[in-house]
Amino acid sequence: MIRKSGIASWPPQWQSVNRDRGSVQGEIGILDDVSMHEAIENKIFLAIEHLGERYIAILAFDDNQFAKQLYPVLLENLGQCLKEIGDLDLSHALEGVNENSSFLYGHPKAAHDPASDRKKT
């Protein structure tokens, strides 16, 4: 997702918790932890395990509602590799947040067919 400021939220910039390791970027590692703080509604805090090291990052969004709806999706994907998470289609999970909201990379939101929501009898 690209913020209004032009800064991409995904893939995150990862900072090692070990000062000697520095930072890395990309869809790397396994999602280890996800959290939000009630006073900071537009940010999601992430932790990954990559090559035996722990890294942390912050996803920042312009739309608080988008962050709130993305958070449980990320929780459901704890233990998954970041590449798989980045490839998720969130068009149905995040419907109605902001019609201009896009997935993590800024790709256009997929068209939704309301007929596909109807139960088949």
Other beta carbons within 10 Å of 85: 21
Locate the domains of the chain by residue range: 13-98
User: Is the whole-model pTM more than 0.75?
Assistant: no
Residue 113 or residue 14, greater confidence: 14
Backbone angles phi, psi at 75, to 5 degrees: -60, -40
Percent of the chain scoring above 70 in pLDDT: 73
Per residue in 3-15, pLDDT (tens digit) is 667 778 888 999 9
Closest CA to 32 of 52, 13, 18, 60: 52
Across 61-90, average pLDDT: 93
- Asked whether the beta carbons of 48 and 55 are under 8 A apart, the reply is yes
